[in-house]
Amino acid sequence: MQDNNAMFADGAAYERLMGRWSQKIGQHFLDWLAATPGKDWLDVGCGNGAFTEIIQARSAPARLAGLDASESQIAYARQRAGCNAAAFQVGDAQNLAFPDASFDVSVMALVIAFLPDPARAVAELARVTRPGGTCASYMWDLPSGVPTFPLYRELAALGHVAPMPPNAKISSSAALQQLWQDAGFEAIEVQTFTTPVIFDDFEDFWASNSGSVGPQAAMLHSLNDADRSNLRAALRQKLPTDAAGRIAYSATANAVKGRRAG
Ligand SMILES: C[S@@+](CC[C@H](N)C(=O)[O-])C[C@H]1O[C@@H](n2cnc3c(N)ncnc32)[C@H](O)[C@@H]1O
């Protein structure tokens, strides 16, 4: 089994790999949730605070709590100026250390596919949310919707199949909808969001994608020099690059939301 703590042991590397795309897609998600100001928010699997920061900036929460399994991600989140209204703690999404009915809006952003037991995490999300409150989640549409997909594709073409998150199949709209139905939510809706993924040049792409975090990192770092050089050459040739050297493609995420019954 993949070790989530090892996969997400560096908040700065996460920021370089995913934080900027997480915030872009997260803005669509927050617009879709359309929560009114003054709500109590919980951000489960908040990581380095990339998404927590935009909750604080856009949703005017009365209370904002973030929880993640990784101590180093939480340490990064705590020093983010844009998260200065949030209270962070280390914890497990599948066993939340909050009393029943503590929050109005409980979310999991880009987390659910990493959990060994997504249904248990969703039950916990429901438990800590007040009746009438909102529980919602979004995940990259795995495998092809994740911003790192071009890297996965070229690794595979060279014979190196990098692991996806352990519960990648839960990322489809149908699977998320079923999970929310099974958990007993009302007024369930699903939505798909797309965001541009743009790098200044190839080195920006490589520095972002070759860091120490994410499910693909261990395999990437195990490549010998020849394989690494072949990978870079294949990516350089195949990534969509404009005349100015910029690389641009898109990433897609599926989202689900529902109202806690009661
Ligand atoms: C892809 S990151 C998403 C971070 C952030 N929510 C965002 O949108 O950028 C996935 C996060 O899930 C966390 N995670 C994985 N398993 C977890 C668990 N059982 N409980 C809490 N957090 C977990 C990881 O530590 C990591 O920070």
Does any domain span residue 226? no
From the CB of residue 157, how many other CB atoms can be counted at a distance below 10 Å? 12
Sequence-separated (6 or more) residues with CB below 8 Å from residue 43: 51, 52, 55, 64, 65, 66, 67, 86, 107, 109
Instruction: Count the domains in the chain.
Output: 1
User: Is the CB–ligand 1 distance for residue 149 below 6 Å?
Assistant: no
d(CA 22, CA 35): 19
- Whether residue 70 is contained in a domain is answered as yes
DSSP letters spanning 100-111? TT-EEEEEEES-
Ligand 1 centroid distance, CA of 68 (Å): 6
Quote the ligand 1 centre to 37 CA distance (angstroms). Answer: 25
Whether residue 94 has its Cβ less than 6 Å from ligand 1: yes
Whether residue 46 has its Cβ less than 6 Å from ligand 1: yes
* CA separation for the pair 228, 209 (Å, rounded): 13
Cα–Cα dist 122/145, whole Å: 23
The CATH number linked to 131 is 3.40.50.150
- The pLDDT, as a whole number, for residue 4 is 63
Ligand 1 pocket test, candidate residues 72, 114, 122, most atoms within 8 A of CB:
114
Q: How far is the CA of 43 from the centre of ligand 1 (A)?
A: 10
pLDDT value of position 7? 77
- Please indicate whether residue 104, judged by its CB atom, sits closer than 6 Å to ligand 1: no
Domain that holds residue 104: 4-143+166-196+252-259
Question: Does residue 201 lie in a domain region?
Answer: no
Residue type, 229: S
- Whether residue 54 lies inside any domain: the answer is yes
Q: Specify the pLDDT at position 1.
A: 44
Rg of the Cα atoms in the chain: 18
> What pLDDT score does 113 carry?
97
Q: Is there a contact between 24 and 147 (Cβ–Cβ < 8 Å)?
A: no
Cα 226 to averaged position of ligand 1 atoms, centre (Å): 33
pTM for the whole structure:
0.94
Specify the pLDDT at position 219. 86
Does the residue 159 lie in any domain? no
Please check whether residue 182 lies inside any domain of the structure: yes
How remote is the C-alpha of 124 from its chain's centroid? Answer: 18
Cα(249) to centroid(ligand 1), Å = 24
Cβ neighbours, 10 Å, residue 207: 13
20, part of any domain: yes
Q: Is residue 232 part of a domain?
A: no
Regions of the chain short of the pLDDT cut 50: 1
CA of 92 to the centre of ligand 1 (A): 10
What residue's CA is closest to ligand 1, atom 4? 47
User: What is the rounded distance in angstroms from the CA atom of residue 11 to the CA atom of residue 17?
Assistant: 10
* Ligand 1 atom nearest 73 alpha carbon: 27
* pLDDT for position 3: 63
